[in-house]
A and B are shown apart, each in its own frame.
Chain A
Amino acid sequence: MPLYELVCISRSTITQENMRMLLKRSAETVLDRGGAVRGFVNMGRDQPLPYRMKRHMEYHTRGSFWLMHYYSNPNTSSVLMSQLKLDPRIIRCNVVKVTDKLSEMVSVGERA
């Protein structure tokens, strides 16, 4: 199963509890479809965005950046994306495939 990376920008005005639920829900989406979640990385809570973004009928200038690394089949990625895009707590989300090869998966550290 290939290793994917979800780069997500979520709203900065949500509470800590709400954020936790959001992360949990995105992880559950992967796990329910036979995937495995490797981990989350926090890239900054409540950061100014590089440019103003419009999502869900709102303009945003600040956001929280986080990553999720997970292994899954390709279908799960598209399902996850479509689910997250409907969520009003999320400003922007993109999935990148990190690698297919086992040797590379092992060498990729937590930071990447």
Chain B
Amino acid sequence: MSTTTTGSGSNINKPEQQQKTPLSSTTQDTKSQQMDRIIAPIAQQQQQQKQGSDKVFDNNSYSRVFFPKQTYHPSELNEMNAQNPSRKARESRTTADPFVALGIDPLKEYKNTNVLSNFITEMGKIKPRYKTGLTAKSQRRLAQAIKRARAFGLMPVTSKSYFMYNYKSLGRGGGSGSR
């Protein structure tokens, strides 16, 4: 505790006095004047914020549309997610076709049931093109490969096989697991 001079001592009292006056009901100010004194600095602050920042989070800028059965977390309600996701992200999928990217003819991979299993559902049905993301040519060839594998007895028809194929000889009595 340091000793204070009279000058600083008088300063200590002043803030306390300033705080007391708006809340006090014993002053000569009317109620509206008291309210103004409270609201004025806050209103000034808000105005400054509006003028200062460009990203205003009000009803006009929030254009995201919510669809039925769509879920969201309260933390998603912010300026970043104010707009619906742009279509540009979806359109850049030109070389998403693995067969084109690797230069493989799907029909030559009819024995490769592991690879073909990626393009069938759990029920063993061939996935449509909008699910696989393949080009039309690849999808046709792939479908043909799957049908060939089924006919040759290499791939199951009503299910999906998870068996690991080893092309080198598995030896006598090889293989465990379901095909």
Instruction: Report the nearest B residue to A112, measured CB to CB.
Output: B108
| In the complex with contacts A48-B179, A49-B179, A42-B169 CB distance below 8 A | yes
Whether B154 pairs with A50 at a CB distance below 8 angstroms is yes
Number of interface residues of A (CB under 8 A): 24
What is the count of residue pairs linking A and B with beta-carbon distances less than 8 angstroms? 59
One of A42, A43, A49, A94 near B151 (C-beta < 8 A): A94
Whether A7 pairs with B152 at a CB distance below 8 angstroms is yes
CB A29 to nearest CB in B, in angstroms, measures 20
| In the complex with contacts A47-B175, A50-B157, A112-B108, A42-B170 CB distance below 8 A | yes
Whether B153 pairs with A49 at a CB distance below 8 angstroms is yes
Among A79-102, those with CB < 8 Å from B are 91-92, 94, 96
Please name all residues of chain B whose beta carbon is closer than 8 Å to the beta carbon of A46 when the two chains form the complex: 172-175
CB B178 to nearest CB in A, in angstroms, measures 7
Question: Interface on B for A, CB 8 Å cutoff?
Answer: 108, 110-111, 148, 150-158, 161, 165-167, 169-175, 178-179
Please name 28 pairs of A and B residues whose Cβ atoms are closer than 8 Å in the assembled complex, sorted by A. Answer: A7-B152, A7-B154, A9-B153, A42-B169, A43-B167, A44-B174, A44-B175, A45-B170, A45-B171, A46-B174, A47-B175, A48-B175, A48-B178, A50-B150, A50-B157, A50-B161, A50-B179, A51-B153, A51-B156, A51-B158, A53-B153, A65-B154, A91-B153, A94-B151, A94-B152, A96-B110, A111-B167, A112-B108
